[in-house]
Amino acid sequence: MVSRLTIIGGLLIACNASVIAQRIEAIDEGKLPRFEVASVKLGNPNATSARVGIPPGRFVQEDMDMRTALNMAFDVRPYQMPNPLPEVLRGRYSIDAKMPAGAPQKDVGLMVRALLIERFKLRYHVETKEQDGYALTVGRDGRLGPGIRQSTIDCAARMDAQRRNETLPPLPDGSKECGIRNGPGTIDFGGMPLPVLMQMLSNQTGQQVVDHTGLSGPFDVELHWSLASSGALRASPDGGQAGDNGPSLFTAVEEQLGLKLEPTKAPVDYLVIDHVERPEPD
């Protein structure tokens, strides 16, 4: 079943237009925006479900470890975080935090970083290493494929209107609704900048994907590939067809998007946790 994730408050829209946010932004801790109030409690260690959400003006998680919070706080992919996480962060926590009135929703990640620093006594540093990765380029003929097209939708404006409970204008014919609809062997989003595609391809390949296309602006993208080839992604960038189940990811990118994933070297920042403590519940 394909799950739907709606982008909230422009968090992904704010990605750098040329390179996915693989570099960890250095910010003076004293200048980090803070939640107005935040409750941190130990979660249920026997919980069979967990959730995280970003309703307007808040950050909420229930019975989850801190992996998603770290991802938001530092805008890192799973392979950029410590593996395994320190034991303290592997525990389950429930957090309910309120943003100051009028604070931009895009600041929620930095507020989560401040919360980790203050409540979990997090201390960290960043190590940069040059690693194998992929450059996303336009194919030889310079034409985009049927699975990608420029979007004319102002997603930030639509989401602002949605938060104000205003009636949204109809989408132009053929346009995708803003947001991400993700599932196994599928990348499907509407009205998002290309760094969103870089992020999703990075997650699929397990390596950094950087943008060498020269394209800009929001796009609608729909990409499908065979899961049968997923185990060979790193070793087989030109793996071709994957039996009767459809193309490999690399072939799908070329045939459906008119783009190409080419091996390259790229600097990758890694988050190193030096110290962390279990917070006092409130």
**pLDDT category of residue 273 using cuts at 50, 70 and 90:** very high
* 81-131 pLDDT tens trace: 998 999 999 999 999 999 999 888 889 999 999 999 999 999 999 999 888
pLDDT tens per residue, range 7-58: 333 333 333 333 344 578 888 999 999 999 999 999 998 888 888 888 888 9
253 phi/psi in degrees, rounded to 5: -60, -40
Give me the residue spans of the domains in the chain: 23-127+271-275, 131-268
Q: At what angle do helices 67-74 and 108-119 cross, to 10 degrees?
A: 120
Please tell me whether residue 26 adopts helix, strand or coil conformation: coil
* CA angle in degrees (0–180, nearest 5) for 169-159-176: 60
* Pick from 41-45, 186-190, 193-197, 226-230: least confident: 226-230
**DSSP character at residue 24:** P
In degrees, to the nearest 5, what angle opens at C-alpha 238 toward C-alphas 236 and 239?
60
Give the confidence band of 229 by pLDDT, cuts at 50, 70, 90: low
Of the candidate ranges 6-15, 112-121, 189-198, 201-210, the one whose mean pLDDT is the lowest = 6-15
Letter string b/e over residues 207-233, b meaning 16 or more CB atoms within 10 A of that residue's CB = bbbbbbbebeebbbbbbbbbeebeeeb
Percentage of residues of the chain with pLDDT beyond 90: 50
User: Span 239-262, mean pLDDT?
Assistant: 80
Cβ atoms within 10 Å, residue 205:
20
DSSP state of 247: B
Average pLDDT of the chain? 83
Strands 209-211 and 179-183: unpaired
Summarize the confidence of residues 50-73 as an average pLDDT.
Answer: 91
Q: 49-63, 138-152, 161-175, 203-217: which range is least confident on average?
A: 161-175
Token digits of residue 101: 């009135």
Q: Taking residues 239-257, report their average pLDDT.
A: 76
Query: What pLDDT sits at residue 255?
Result: 95
Beta bridge partners of 135: 210, 262
User: Do residues 229 and 236 make contact, with C-beta atoms less than 8 angstroms apart?
Assistant: yes
Residue 245 pLDDT: 63
Q: Is residue 4's pLDDT more than 50?
A: no
pLDDT of residue 228: 78
The SS3 of residue 185 is coil
